[in-house]
Structure 1
């Protein structure tokens, strides 16, 4: 066991599962340990995630407890994954960073479906707006968003331009990021780019009430090659993440379609953006 072991949430979940198996069979730690050949102390530490649960030990417990094979196999896979994550951390292996890669995917994609909750979508931001929103908080992220914006702008006038469909709540228009001058310039830019045939901007009005994916911004990217599935990009100030499971990306596509139906149409949205700009 590592000297300064700190259990991950996955390892804690595995421990709870092991304890659940034992409790379902009404076995004490001593009784269960005797059956599997572990000390009660070791079993207790595994269940409480005070030490890692080795995949072979999980397999042994599943067998001794007569847990259905698919169930114990699933927990063994979890233990194997937890072990791999821990080894990467010990070896200081830097994993693939989606936040750093995002601009590359923007450049390769054929369409972006973007839903934001607090800010204008990254590819439609002016640099002044981006800097005002993020520079003091996260200069690295600011630079990455600038790269994504540049990737989109390079594609805007291509023969096959990158199609951008953006949806966001009206609150984004009313949040005066960077002061009135910066915000007004951003809104005028939104009005300008929304007239491009490859760009659609829709605003969810304040009176709409609750709406799909509320509080959960995402970007759904599609690609020209059949071998490249849709990808969802999620980001917080801590990290970026790709979601590639087809079932999950389809859920995002469904949410986005619902948002588009609920939002004002592009013409009405343009009028609302113009109204917000005139108030600054």
Structure 2
């Protein structure tokens, strides 16, 4: 069972090793107190294996860490279940690639999500019809036996993830749509993340699934943008070029500290996770620039209304 991206496992391991040193314990001491083999402690500290939030809590108890905020942050790094429940996506682990599981884990824990999309509607804001059309399009390269070459299983929303090296049958379409819609529960949770999306106008003009699907999708975007924690802003064609024009990205922020923030870039068969401070500063500045260049939420809503009417006319 994956417990978050490898880079986060390594960071967690470094933090736990530092806390062990501060407690004056050796890895052998820690393993003995917990009834573990010493190799388990070593694998956790090197990031070679994942660790559950429960085991992190036990390690912190042994190391005498009582500070609640510190414990909470380390449990986030461990890939705790977060708002989405006890890792609901693991029920689909035979279908979705590990990369997408990592992405959903981050999505379920984040306090805020900022995303630039240049080609498709963000997964958390997709209708069932649009999601089905996007996923079906991603499977168009299927081989004659009904599988996807190289196991590519795009989530259909950059940068929501692609696949690993396993083939997925076309009849899994319904299940992939179900995963997409289940993810959206995070925006209806008791404590939902602040979700800010900057979308290129082309995202809403492209007739994914046809004009009727797009009419419903744009209307859904308007409805979602009325939620107090959801902001949708458009970059009209008239805005010209902008930072990120060729690269969609998402920035996940977590409670209490920016040290755990993560940037995710999408590639055809994988995702790239960035956590260096300089990367976070660069992408954070780029997103602020995008917000300044984008239409206000109110003007974006008006543009969406016009685009919805265009799709409605085309669907007649």
2:102 corresponds in structure 1 to 101
Tell me if the contact between 1:120 and 1:172 (Cα under 8 Å) persists in the aligned partners: yes
- Secondary structure, counterpart of 2:154 in structure 1: helix
Task: Give the CA deviation at 1:251.
Answer: 0.8
Tell me if the contact between 1:99 and 1:235 (Cα under 8 Å) persists in the aligned partners: no
Tell me if the contact between 1:98 and 1:242 (Cα under 8 Å) persists in the aligned partners: no
Distance in structure 2 (CA, Å) of the matches to 1:149 and 1:245: 32
- Secondary structure, counterpart of 1:141 in structure 2: coil
Distance in structure 2 (CA, Å) of the matches to 1:207 and 1:118: 17
Structure 2 length as normaliser, TM-score? 0.54
1:243 and 2:243 aligned: no
Tell me if the contact between 1:103 and 1:147 (Cα under 8 Å) persists in the aligned partners: no
- Secondary structure, counterpart of 1:160 in structure 2: coil
- Secondary structure, counterpart of 2:300 in structure 1: helix
Change (3 A) 1:208 1:259: same
2:128 corresponds in structure 1 to 127
1:199 corresponds in structure 2 to 230
Task: Give the CA deviation at 1:100.
Answer: 2.9
What RMSD over aligned residues (CA atoms) do the two structures have, in Å? 2.1
Q: Would you identify which runs of 4 or more consecutive aligned residues in structure 1 move more than 6 Å?
A: none
- Secondary structure, counterpart of 2:263 in structure 1: strand
1:270 corresponds in structure 2 to 301
1:141 and 2:154 aligned: yes
1:176 corresponds in structure 2 to 207
Change (3 A) 1:212 1:184: same
Segments of 5+ residues of structure 2 without an aligned counterpart are: 1-96, 140-147, 156-174, 312-316
Identify which range, 178-187 or 224-233, moves more after superposition.
224-233
Tell me if the contact between 1:109 and 1:222 (Cα under 8 Å) persists in the aligned partners: yes
Tell me if the contact between 1:123 and 1:145 (Cα under 8 Å) persists in the aligned partners: no
- Secondary structure, counterpart of 1:229 in structure 2: strand
Task: Give the CA deviation at 1:210.
Answer: 1.1
1:232 and 2:245 aligned: no
Task: Give the CA deviation at 1:220.
Answer: 0.3
Q: For residues 54-85 of structure 1, what are the alpha-carbon distances to aligned partners after superposition, in whole Å with 9 as ceiling and x for unaligned?
A: xxxxxxxxxxxxxxxxxxxxxxxxxxxxxxxx
Structure 1 length as normaliser, TM-score? 0.61
Q: For residues 96-117 of structure 1, what are the alpha-carbon distances to aligned partners after superposition, in whole Å with 9 as ceiling and x for unaligned?
A: 9433310111001011101010
Tell me if the contact between 1:98 and 1:241 (Cα under 8 Å) persists in the aligned partners: no
Task: Give the CA deviation at 1:223.
Answer: 0.9
2:242 corresponds in structure 1 to 211
- Secondary structure, counterpart of 1:242 in structure 2: strand
1:77 corresponds in structure 2 to none
- Secondary structure, counterpart of 2:234 in structure 1: strand
Q: For residues 101-159 of structure 1, what are the alpha-carbon distances to aligned partners after superposition, in whole Å with 9 as ceiling and x for unaligned?
A: 101110010111010101111211112212212324248334668636533x3232334
Segments of 5+ residues of structure 1 without an aligned counterpart are: 1-95
Distance in structure 2 (CA, Å) of the matches to 1:243 and 1:278: 39
2:172 corresponds in structure 1 to none
Q: For residues 29-49 of structure 1, what are the alpha-carbon distances to aligned partners after superposition, in whole Å with 9 as ceiling and x for unaligned?
A: xxxxxxxxxxxxxxxxxxxxx
- Secondary structure, counterpart of 2:113 in structure 1: strand
